[in-house]
Structure 1
Amino acid sequence: MGFTQEHFLGINTSHKTTMLNVDNNPAELVNLSNKVDVSIFHLSVNASNNKINMLDFLDTDKSSEAYESDLLSGDNPFNSTINLKLIGPSIGVRINNWGFGFKYTLNANVSLTDVDPNLIDIIEAEEDLITEIQTNENQRITAIGYQTLDFSVARNIMENETSKLSAGLTLKLLASEAYANGGINELNVSIERENDELYFSNGNASIDFAYAGIFSESFEDYNYSFLGNGIDGLGTDIGFNYQIKNENSKYAYKLNLGLAIKDIGSINIDENARRETYTLAIPETERFNASEFEDVENTEDVIAILEDSPYFTSTDSETTVKVKLPTSLNIYADYQVYGNLFGTVQINQSLVKNSENTVIPNYSTYALIPRYSGKSFEAYLPLSVSTISSFNAGFGLRLGGFFYVGSSSAISAAFSDTIKKADVHLGFRFGIGKSKRTSTTQETSNSEID
């Protein structure tokens, strides 16, 4: 699962088919390059936004006014996301027309969605001021951490001398660690900063505030525990794969087409969970001191401020928090151009509406990935456009069948003056048993480790 759907971009469509390809599309299980594929780990971390140049964080001389200028540029609201995906121990087995797999995954995300940059500027301002904010968007801050146990199965549906078609399914057992969401919809308010205090008046908005797991105790302390809250949700990936075979080559296919709908489902959290919705109504002649939120240490402190204020009226209260997974449509085509040269076109289309308070924010990515792909070495060049961070160019390497490292933004970071994304992915795995194809139509011995 990803939140920007850019995790492992470039390596997860390699002709060296591993459990990383299966994470991208469960139908790839029947295409594993080895009879048995064992992953030690796969790690992807990325951060992206739509306004701030991330190279500026390396410039110690960068002034706060310069960051403010970046943030306030253009008319678009500010969007930002930081994601981590760790695929732990996993195994896939190819048996005749069947494939079976298991993997463990840890996901974490922090996102700002459709935030008015002027509101951030006002909060960070030091001088006294009076202004107004009028927005139609649902401004959100969201944080979530959860684990999954994934069980996958795939089968060849049709196969002949020239092509084959397969289908696959992954069932995900979801275990939440922590969740928090704060949403302010259609905020219209007068704001005054006076003597370092921030006051709201003449204001209206709809407020959603939800939390679960460890965030009920603290925003800062986090102690990981394996499936600490038990299983509290189900998710599904459904995929199809079609290959045009390459009988006269050491590679199994001339063209590899895939389609998958990923992350169907939701998490229903009832461990230390609460969702509250409020309407905000502040008369023109009265003021609410928003600086009270500066010293909160946990979610209960936030709830106490809202419920003690006469300007917030509760409209709904729930003790179970439902969080929809970041569902996406994944389509790709990997084509052997000539010899060891391949080209991939990949579309990861988000199917969720980020303004909804119950959704994990997700962004779409469209990529073109040229690659040189040999048995023991692979180099790939992901060129992508994201709906949050625009264009990025990256680079990655696979060494042997064991180790890979890459980034979908490395070239942009090295040669561009402005980047709005930074990421890295790496992993280690090995295969046991017969490779799918190592020469013409010959298979290797059962003892091969690759």
Structure 2
Amino acid sequence: MKKTLPLFLTLFSLSMAAQDHFSGIKNSNGVGILSSTVNPAELSNLSSKYDVNVFSLSINASNNKVGFNDIINSDNIEDLIFQGDKPVNMRIDAEIYGPGFAMKLNKWAFGISTKAYAKLNLVDIDPTLGKSINDGTLGSVIGTSLISNNYNQRLNGTSWGELGLSVSRNLFENETHKFNAGATLKLLFPGSYTNFGADKFQGKIDNVLNEAYLNDTNASLNIAYSGNLTGGFTDFGDYSKSLFGNLNGLAADFGVNYQLKDKDNYRLNAGLAVKNIGGMTFKDSGNSSTNYALNIPTGTVINPGLNLNDFQNVESLQDAETLLLNSGYLTKNESKSEIKVKLPTLFSAYIDLKIVPKFFVSVYTQQKLNSDAANDQITTQNIVSLTPRFSLKNYEIYSSWAKNEISGTTGGFGFRIYGFYLGSSSIVTALTSDTKQADVYLGYRLRLR
């Protein structure tokens, strides 16, 4: 387990990432396939008859403990992550858009898109427990530390591919108003999955001869793994090699859109959508998903409990599971070979308002409808963003500012030149303050009349 956290930190420092993918460009009035992923009803607002997505990439990460300046100035970031009493939350994920195509046909619009996802998350990790496992023999515990949590601590990794089939229809339009509705059916291709959940953890950590021992402990554990992540979850190559598996899942998006029109396009564009309704099933010969009861008795001189130093060389959840089983402290409650997981269902809403010709301001929010605590749930986070934008036909510049559930406030900058766009929703705050989030995205599209 000791190798896990440095990986998170390395990815954080190299990728400079956030959680609001394609912030700024996705609400552009030059509507394309990317806009339809926010709301499928936007397909009816295509700015050209045909739209082709060539390639898009967004790499994201955020946390609630380590700031940008900490990465630059600190030699021991692990200590900063586990400082204080607040549970540790960290999200690292990537979205990759492959070839896509959309077209308008009278009152109808149709689209097809390809995507791949990779996510690696820490959810509500107790800082004392995390530091003890990470340090092991470093005397991280002085005397005795009590841990009492009524939530589920999770370490989760997922990769999957997606083929989206979208349709939108213009329901009503006159010189002033326009109403659209749309839907997207997503065919899901699960790649790899891993999850470690420790629910309602109650325990005690003692320092015995400068080593951390866990005893007097009770918790409900879920240990699950599938595909390339069976042998390890800290190597990015394990995710990139398994972005697309076999078809084994369905999901759907539904949205509505309204425009208050003017002679140049619109004065106001607004939409509502519910996205990612559905899930997928991981099937693999090496699959395992097991629920356990962890019960470690009160430590004694002869048997002080579970030595957390034993986890120093653990490289996979399968290794951790074997270690815990060999300790005799686990009782199996339920085991299955198929792993069913839910996509992060969310509600999104936005308004794009023309202030003066060529200058717009967008407000966007996404709110998750399911809890990240469930072991079968892929995670997301709540976001509210504000983006002022100067927009011409072939050029755009914008600055996106957001309030994120995990990392707080971020501000960034981006631009579009013809079909190429590049941006970050946190580069401004990364350079001017100690932000706990950063991101970068880029892409290229073609608009064909």
TM-score, L = length of structure 1? 0.89
RMSD between superposed Cα atoms in Å = 2.0
Deviations 1:151-178 (A, max 9, x none): 1111111112211111111111111111
1:93 aligns with 2:103: yes
Q: 1:299 to 1:173 in 2, by over 3 A?
A: same
* 2:282 maps to amino acid: I
Q: 1:261 matched to which residue of 2?
A: 274
1:336 aligns with 2:354: yes
Q: 2:420 matched to which residue of 1?
A: 403
Separation (CA, whole Å) in 2 of partners of 1:196 and 1:176: 44
Q: 1:414 matched to which residue of 2?
A: 431
* 2:261 maps to amino acid: K
Q: CA deviation at 1:20?
A: 0.7
Deviations 1:8-33 (A, max 9, x none): 11110100111110111111111111
* 1:115 maps to amino acid: I
* 1:72 maps to amino acid: Q
1:293 aligns with 2:327: no
Separation (CA, whole Å) in 2 of partners of 1:257 and 1:242: 5
TM-score, L = length of structure 2? 0.89
Task: Please point out which of 313, 323, 345 is paired with 1:305.
Answer: 323
Separation (CA, whole Å) in 1 of partners of 2:163 and 2:53: 14
Q: CA deviation at 1:269?
A: 1.3
Separation (CA, whole Å) in 1 of partners of 2:207 and 2:55: 49
CA contact (8 A) 1:4 1:364 kept: no
Task: Please point out which of 323, 327, 335 is paired with 2:345.
Answer: 327
Q: 1:391 matched to which residue of 2?
A: 409
Which aligned pairs between 1:131-210 and structure 2 lie closer than 5 A? Answer: 131=144, 132-194=146-208, 197-210=211-224
Bigger mean CA deviation after superposition, 233-242 or 132-141: 132-141
Tell me which stretches of 4 or more aligned residues in structure 1 moved more than 6 Å.
none
Which aligned pairs between 1:112-127 and structure 2 lie closer than 5 A? Answer: 112-125=122-135, 126-127=138-139
Separation (CA, whole Å) in 1 of partners of 2:29 and 2:321: 52
Q: CA deviation at 1:4?
A: 7.4
Separation (CA, whole Å) in 2 of partners of 1:218 and 1:388: 26
Secondary structure at 1:430 match in 2: strand
Which aligned pairs between 1:420-435 and structure 2 lie closer than 5 A? Answer: 420-433=436-449
Q: Which runs of 5+ in 1 are unaligned?
A: 434-450
Deviations 1:202-229 (A, max 9, x none): 1111111111111223444627457753
| Bigger proportion of residues as helix | 2
Q: Which runs of 5+ in 2 are unaligned?
A: 1-16
Q: CA deviation at 1:49?
A: 0.6
CA contact (8 A) 1:91 1:102 kept: yes
Task: Please point out which of 359, 378, 383 is paired with 2:377.
Answer: 359
Secondary structure at 2:216 match in 1: strand
1:103 aligns with 2:113: yes
CA contact (8 A) 1:5 1:364 kept: no
Equivalent residues, number: 422
Deviations 1:110-136 (A, max 9, x none): 110111112222234412743222222
CA contact (8 A) 2:192 2:242 kept: no
Task: Please point out which of 50, 60, 72 is paired with 2:83.
Answer: 72
CA contact (8 A) 1:174 1:233 kept: yes
Q: CA deviation at 1:197?
A: 4.6
Q: CA deviation at 1:264?
A: 0.9
Q: CA deviation at 1:420?
A: 0.4
Deviations 1:371-399 (A, max 9, x none): 11111211111111011111111111011
* 1:295 maps to amino acid: N
CA contact (8 A) 1:5 1:348 kept: no
Q: CA deviation at 1:300?
A: 3.3
CA contact (8 A) 2:109 2:169 kept: yes
Q: 1:445 matched to which residue of 2?
A: none
